[in-house]
Chains A and B, each alone.
Chain A
Amino acid sequence: SSLGKRTEKASVLLVAIESAIGGNAYQHSKVNQWTTSVVEQTLSQLTKLGKPFKYIVTCVIMQKNGAGLHTASSCFWDNSSDGTCTVRWENKTMYCIVSAFGLAI
């Protein structure tokens, strides 16, 4: 079912975020490495699922400073086979938004 697939994808994203930045405070010198690590781990776990999909994964990390952040995406694809999953995560010092897009081959 598509709900089952969504939950599976969401948990892949969450695990990648937690393992890359869970328990850390925002550090300017590390954030580049963190975003890279989150996307690489997410992508590698998604491809391990072995489904016939192309994937796009993006990650934004923003320091908590009272400022606002918005993200939107628009896609031109096949509604019956393609989908997306976005996870928002935060701790005391930063926000992390990860989006995964899966497009059937």
Chain B
Amino acid sequence: MPTGCGPACGRGEGELGLPPGRVFIFSRFKSSTVKECIHAILKEKLADAQYVPEEVPQLTKSLSEIIKDRLKEEGFDRYKMVVQVVIGEQRGEGVNMAARCFWDADTDSYAHDVFVNVSIDCFTIGNVKLLLL
């Protein structure tokens, strides 16, 4: 597992021309890291799974918790996090998903990944938003 990929942060004390109290980030949150993390988890958990209606609610819930816990371990513990997982059965229906956020563009960001498993006929969207504490 990659280490040291979380951000380092500090608060401005009026040096470097930054207003006092303004948070600045040494290394920016990398949404590609988060996306890889989501992708790895979805692939690992869903590659051999079957779409069983009784089990899917539990699967959706546990996937979102696993992703959240993995990201905390990866060093994003200075962030508040919202992880959303959507699993749908594929029967040729149309699906569309959109999101909008009201946040601090300097510090907050998001990553998402879509996993389609043809053998079990389901698509999974993993959606992660991170907001600096």
Is B33 on the interface with A (CB-CB < 8 A)? Answer: no
Count of inter-chain pairs, beta carbons less than 8 A: 136
On chain B, the residues within 8 Å of A74 by CB distance are: 61, 64-65, 67-68, 83, 85
Q: Interface 1/0s, chain A 28-50, versus B by CB < 8 A?
A: 10011011101110110011000
Count A interface residues, CB 8 Å: 44
Q: In the complex, A42→B60 CA distance in Å?
A: 25
Min CB–CB distance B76 → chain A (angstroms): 9
Question: Given contacts A36-B98, A56-B101, A60-B97, is CB(A72)–CB(B80) below 8 Å?
Answer: no
Min CB–CB distance A18 → chain B (angstroms): 17
Determine if B86 and A67 form an interchain contact, defined as CB atoms under 8 angstroms apart: no
Min CB–CB distance A35 → chain B (angstroms): 4
Partner of B72, one of A38, A59, A76: A76
Count B interface residues, CB 8 Å: 43
Is B38 on the interface with A (CB-CB < 8 A)? Answer: no
Question: Given contacts A66-B91, A72-B61, is CB(A32)–CB(B99) below 8 Å?
Answer: no
Question: Given contacts A57-B100, A76-B72, is CB(A67)–CB(B89) below 8 Å?
Answer: yes
On chain B, the residues within 8 Å of A4 by CB distance are: none
On chain A, the residues within 8 Å of B100 by CB distance are: 39-40, 42-43, 57
Determine if A73 and B88 form an interchain contact, defined as CB atoms under 8 angstroms apart: no
Task: State the A residues within 8 Å of B (CB).
Answer: 26, 28, 31-32, 34-36, 38-40, 42-43, 46-47, 53-78, 82, 99, 101, 103
Task: State the B residues within 8 Å of A (CB).
Answer: 51, 53, 56-57, 59-61, 63-65, 67-68, 72, 79-104, 108, 127, 129, 131
What are some 8 contacts across the A-B interface (CB < 8 A)? A54-B103, A61-B97, A65-B92, A65-B93, A67-B90, A74-B64, A74-B85, A75-B68
Given A60-B96, A75-B80: 7 more A-B contacts, CB < 8 Å:
A34-B96, A46-B102, A56-B82, A57-B101, A68-B88, A68-B89, A71-B86
